[in-house]
């Protein structure tokens, strides 16, 4: 890709400034601001200030590590570290400083300044200590579980001025894959112990007692992982923090780019709420870095909640072809593979799951022309832009909000609006987002769930970072006892298992089937022709709804929801339409318990369009398909999907 980068803040109110951080192959590339959400995208004459003399290809660090400042102040000093090694494909630094290198190779052999010491076993905790005296260092490694001990004494080793754990001073070598527990330091005049918190992700750690040098923790390792004290009896770090006072270093961790900005853009106060991009025109092509503008003061009566949590979860997904057969191609995934960027769908080099991602990163998969290789069709932002283009053609005004806005502001972000619409794939939700939405509905608001597989995974935000813990899953499986989010301490996994916020209780349906087989149209059910919700189908006949579409060929497809036989189902729920007769590649999730047994399981290979009136007085309308928005009519055309959407929004706009 000729240019990549990010904009901060990603979502901004009109009248504010944003900054763009760019890596570009063309120093003299031209820059402009463009609309993304209109059929005829225009360049905009917004005030733009250059903060760098020329664009350049920017550097970044992959891999996390720890730095310990100067504390070696006496005739003899000892540093001890609890360490558990995971898979390392190459020789990696363990403890290093200028003139001292303790490393581990792919076989587990530990060397000190080139001398072989012992062979460590993966997934075993060791206590590794280095005693430094006058020109001498004694290295000791003990396996607490067995009591086995190894020692090596070296001459000609100077005391360090700074110690690196998991990295080496030049950063020319890839960092270590390992877990680090407690760290100890002892000298004649001082003694320190550092314990990692079981909750939170931090960049500095002071010793116990609060006095003494702080550890620098670089590039966002994973916190709240099982330590040497984990016994398997308690899986909640809030109940036994000493069992989770360790971090996991990965050689491909990425805590976000910490670059200086290249551009500052003043978003005019009267700017329309919508999706925009910083367009970078290079000698080999144009790349666009998207961002979102909210109105300074809410203007419309309907808001579209763009699923930035889902966008971020998928951003720069590698999709290794050996695991996922590609049916198309897209330069974003080739870019992620070439640069070893990871999404929350990937695994680290030691095969542990990626649980953290940063918004301070290139989001190469968030483009208007993005095609998902697994479906060879638009996905995420490139689909959601079709909704905004359709609304503009239909002269329906909406304000833009994002998941990040809802997480920060809760209900207050939503209360100005009579209806909230989701994008095509609102899969990832934080507790603050969920509470804000429920409070909004309780105050009388209405919701249009225009996607599928929504309200599924639990995430949490901390500054530019977002965290996910999957638990047992076919994408990747977390380790035993590590399903709680380190940012908040709350259980991770999916919302179905959390209680109180089951998707079916919220939107009337639950994620049931998925495939990249052909999508299917809906057919109307009896209750769509009369009764309280017949207005949704004004101008819609008895013919199929959504027989064509950009996402796998029709309106119901990819990931799909249906109504289960469940006590979670709202009492006033009405099924309006159904899409069925999917091919055999669509199978019901094997982890889903079905009350009606095999007969009900077979009947659930369908998408249910539903509506119900909730206790707050508003309605919740659900289409139950990721492909629905992709079936909206193109410019100059019309279809039943478009008519239903116009009928819905005419009631609230």
253-306 per-position pLDDT tens digit: 999 999 999 999 999 999 999 999 999 999 999 999 999 999 999 999 999 999
397-416 confidence digits (pLDDT tens): 999 999 999 999 999 999 99
**pLDDT for res 591:** 87
Contact assessment for residue 562 and residue 509, using Cβ atoms and an 8 Å cutoff:
yes
From 138, 162, 160, 163, select the one nearest 149 (Cα to Cα): 138
pLDDT at 74 over 80: no
* Helix, strand, coil % in the chain, rounded to nearest 5: 15, 35, 55
pLDDT at 73 over 80: no
Euclidean distance between CA atoms 165 and 186, whole angstroms: 17
The mean pLDDT of 94-106, rounded to a whole number, is 95
pLDDT at 310 over 80: yes
473-483 confidence digits (pLDDT tens): 889 999 999 99
Per-residue burial over 82-111, b = 16 or more CB atoms within 10 Å of its CB, e = otherwise: bbbbbbbeeebbbbbbeebbbbbeeeeebb
From 267, 307, 287, 269, select the one nearest 387 (Cα to Cα): 307
Euclidean distance between CA atoms 84 and 248, whole angstroms: 9
Domain 3-60+260-290 class, CATH top level: mainly beta
CATH 2.60.120.200 for domain 65-249? yes
Torsion of CA 638, 639, 643, 646, to 10 degrees: -50
**pLDDT for res 380:** 97
pLDDT at 588 over 80: yes
**pLDDT for res 171:** 86
Sign of the CA dihedral 134, 138, 144, 147?
Answer: negative
From 313, 306, 301, select the one nearest 275 (Cα to Cα): 306
Euclidean distance between CA atoms 332 and 374, whole angstroms: 13
**pLDDT for res 312:** 98
pTM for this predicted structure: 0.96
Which pLDDT band holds residue 123 (cuts at 50, 70, 90)?
confident
**pLDDT for res 573:** 97
Is 60 exposed, middle or buried (CB count within 10 Å of its CB: 0-12, 13-18, 19+)? Answer: middle
What is the chain's mean pLDDT, rounded? 95
198-229 confidence digits (pLDDT tens): 998 999 999 999 888 999 999 999 999 999 99
Give residues with Cβ within 8 angstroms of 307, minimum separation 6.
380, 384, 403, 422, 423, 424, 425, 426, 427, 428, 451
Euclidean distance between CA atoms 221 and 411, whole angstroms: 32
Euclidean distance between CA atoms 326 and 337, whole angstroms: 14
Contact assessment for residue 79 and residue 139, using Cβ atoms and an 8 Å cutoff:
no
Please report, rounded to a whole number, the percentage of residues in the chain having pLDDT higher than 90.
87
CATH topology of domain 298-650: Rossmann fold (3.40.50)
- Judge whether 3-60+260-290 and 298-650 match in fold: no
Backbone angles phi, psi at 603, to 5 degrees: -75, -15
Euclidean distance between CA atoms 434 and 420, whole angstroms: 13
**pLDDT for res 521:** 98
CA angle 506–387–608, rounded 5-degree value: 40
- Site of tokens 């609060």: 210
Euclidean distance between CA atoms 458 and 469, whole angstroms: 8
**pLDDT for res 596:** 86
Which pLDDT band holds residue 570 (cuts at 50, 70, 90)?
very high
The mean pLDDT of 306-324, rounded to a whole number, is 93
| Rg, C-alpha atoms of the chain | 27
**pLDDT for res 642:** 98
ω before 411 within 30° of 0 (cis)? Answer: no
Give residues with Cβ within 8 angstroms of 99, minimum separation 6.
156, 157, 158
pLDDT at 72 over 80: no
Please report, rounded to a whole number, the percentage of residues in the chain having pLDDT higher than 70.
100
The number of beta carbons lying within 10 Å of the beta carbon of residue 477 is 13
**pLDDT for res 161:** 84
The number of beta carbons lying within 10 Å of the beta carbon of residue 65 is 24
The mean pLDDT of 327-353, rounded to a whole number, is 94
pLDDT at 31 over 90: yes
User: How many helices (H) and strands (E) in the chain?
Assistant: 8, 40
**pLDDT for res 565:** 87
Euclidean distance between CA atoms 328 and 334, whole angstroms: 12
**pLDDT for res 634:** 95
Euclidean distance between CA atoms 597 and 131, whole angstroms: 64
Which pLDDT band holds residue 653 (cuts at 50, 70, 90)?
confident
- Site of tokens 């309907």: 302
Where in the chain are the domains? Answer: 3-60+260-290, 65-249, 298-650
- H/E segment holding residue 381: helix 381-393
**pLDDT for res 140:** 97
Which pLDDT band holds residue 163 (cuts at 50, 70, 90)?
very high
**pLDDT for res 159:** 83
Distance of alpha carbon 21 from the chain centroid: 20
The mean pLDDT of 352-368, rounded to a whole number, is 95
pLDDT at 338 over 80: yes
pLDDT at 122 over 90: no
From 536, 554, 518, select the one nearest 620 (Cα to Cα): 536
Euclidean distance between CA atoms 251 and 124, whole angstroms: 19
The CA-based diameter of the chain, rounded to the nearest angstrom, is 91
Instruction: Extract the tokens encoding 383.
Output: 């689909």
Q: Are strands 125-132 and 77-85 parallel, antiparallel or unpaired?
A: antiparallel
Euclidean distance between CA atoms 307 and 322, whole angstroms: 29
**pLDDT for res 366:** 95
483-526 confidence digits (pLDDT tens): 999 999 999 999 999 988 999 999 999 999 999 999 999 999 99
Instruction: Extract the tokens encoding 614.
Output: 């909730």
């Amino acid at each position: 890709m000729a240019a990549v980068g990010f904009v901060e803040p990603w979502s901004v109110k009109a009248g504010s400034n944003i900054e763009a951080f760019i890596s570009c192959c063309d120093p003299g590339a031209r820059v402009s601001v463009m609309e993304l959400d209109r059929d005829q995208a225009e360049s905009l004459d917004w005030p733009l200030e250059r903060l760098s003399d020329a664009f350049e290809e920017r550097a970044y660090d992959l891999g996390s590590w720890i730095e310990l400042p100067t504390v070696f102040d006496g005739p003899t000093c000892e540093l001890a570290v609890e360490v558990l090694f995971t898979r390392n494909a190459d020789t990696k630094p363990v403890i290093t400083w200028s003139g001292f290198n303790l490393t581990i190779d792919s076989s587990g052999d530990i060397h000190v300044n080139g001398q072989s010491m012992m062979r460590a076993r993966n997934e075993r905790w060791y206590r590794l200590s280095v005693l430094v005296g006058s020109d001498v260092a004694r290295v000791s490694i003990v396996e607490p579980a067995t009591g086995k001990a190894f020692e090596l004494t070296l001459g000609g080793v100077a005391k360090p001025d700074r110690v690196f754990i998991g990295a080496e001073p030049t950063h020319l070598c890839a960092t270590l894959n390992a877990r680090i527990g407690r760290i100890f330091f002892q000298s004649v005049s001082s003694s320190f112990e550092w314990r990692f918190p079981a909750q939170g992700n931090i960049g500095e750690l002071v010793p116990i007692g609060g006095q003494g040098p702080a550890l620098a923790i670089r590039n966002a390792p994973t916190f709240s992982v099982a330590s040497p004290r984990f016994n398997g009896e308690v899986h909640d770090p809030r109940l036994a923090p000493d069992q989770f006072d360790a971090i996991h270093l990965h050689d491909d961790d990425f805590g976000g780019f910490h670059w200086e900005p290249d551009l500052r853009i003043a978003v005019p106060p009267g700017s329309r709420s919508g999706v925009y991009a910083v367009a970078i025109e290079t000698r080999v092509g144009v790349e666009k870095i998207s961002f979102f503008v909210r109105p300074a003061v809410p203007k419309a009566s309907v808001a579209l909640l763009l699923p930035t949590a889902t966008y971020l979860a998928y951003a720069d997904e590698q999709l290794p072809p050996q695991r996922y057969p590609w049916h198309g191609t897209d330069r974003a995934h080739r870019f992620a593979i070439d640069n070893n960027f990871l999404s929350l769908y990937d695994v680290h080099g030691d095969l542990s799951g990626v649980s953290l991602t940063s918004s301070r990163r290139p989001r190469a998969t968030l483009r208007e022309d993005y095609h998902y290789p697994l479906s060879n069709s638009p996905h995420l932002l490139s689909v959601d832009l079709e909704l905004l283009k359709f609304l503009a053609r239909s002269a329906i005004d909406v304000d833009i909000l994002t998941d990040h806005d809802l997480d920060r502001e809760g209900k207050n972000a939503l209360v100005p609006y009579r209806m909230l619409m989701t994008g095509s794939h609102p899969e990832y939700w934080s507790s603050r987002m969920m509470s804000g939405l429920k409070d909004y509905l309780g105050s009388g608001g209405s919701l249009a769930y225009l996607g599928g597989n929504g309200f599924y995974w639990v995430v949490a935000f901390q500054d530019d970072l977002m965290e996910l813990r999957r638990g047992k899953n076919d994408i990747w499986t977390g380790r035993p006892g590590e399903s709680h989010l380190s940012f908040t301490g709350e259980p991770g996994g999916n919302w179905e298992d959390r209680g109180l916020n089951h998707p079916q209780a919220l939107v009337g349906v639950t994620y049931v089937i998925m495939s990249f087989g052909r999508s299917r149209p809906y057919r109307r059910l009896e209750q769509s022709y009369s009764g309280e919700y017949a207005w949704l189908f004004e101008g819609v006949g008895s013919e199929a709804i959504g027989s064509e579409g950009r996402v796998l060929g029709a309106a119901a497809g990819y990931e799909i929801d249906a109504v289960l036989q469940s006590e979670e189902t709202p009492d006033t729920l009405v099924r309006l339409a159904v899409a069925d007769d999917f091919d055999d590649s669509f199978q019901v999730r094997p982890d889903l318990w079905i009350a009606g047994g095999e007969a009900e399981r077979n009947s659930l290979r369908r998408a249910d369009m539903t509506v119900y009136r909730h206790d707050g007085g508003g309605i919740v309308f659900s289409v139950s398909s990721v492909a629905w928005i992709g079936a909206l009519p193109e410019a100059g055309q019309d279809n039943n999907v478009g008519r239903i959407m116009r009928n819905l929004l005419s009631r609230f706009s």
